[in-house]
Amino acid sequence: DIFTPNADGQNELFEPLAGCPEVTITQLSIYNRWGELIFQTNSTPFRWEGKLNGENCPPNSYVWVVDYNLYQKGILSKERTQGSLLLVR
């Protein structure tokens, strides 16, 4: 859960991936430690480069939220998962 967008070619993007064909990501949101929304996208690619308004975000803890559709046994449901992320530069 460590993210290092520092131009070294490793861990440059935070990009959640759907692990199976039954899951389709619909939105990625990133919040700072005070709960303020700093990034959101509802189109592919679902990734965050560690920036806010084109400027590098400071090293800190962030919360990610992924909304997704789950299609199982002919039933479509809207789901959400979340976690924390540490941005290190």
Report how far apart, in Å, the C-alpha atoms of 17 and of each of 5, 26, 56, 59 are.
18, 11, 23, 23
pLDDT for position 19: 83
Burial of 53-67, coded b for 16+ CB within 10 Å and e otherwise, reads eeeebeeeebbbbbb
Whole-angstrom distance, CA of residue 48 vs CA of residue 41: 9
Nearest to 85 by CA among 67, 59, 55: 59
Task: Look at residue 1 and tell me whether its pLDDT is greater than 90.
Answer: no
pLDDT tens by residue, 59-79: 999 999 999 999 999 999 999
Instruction: Please write the tens of the pLDDT for every residue from 26-49.
Output: 999 999 999 999 999 999 999 999
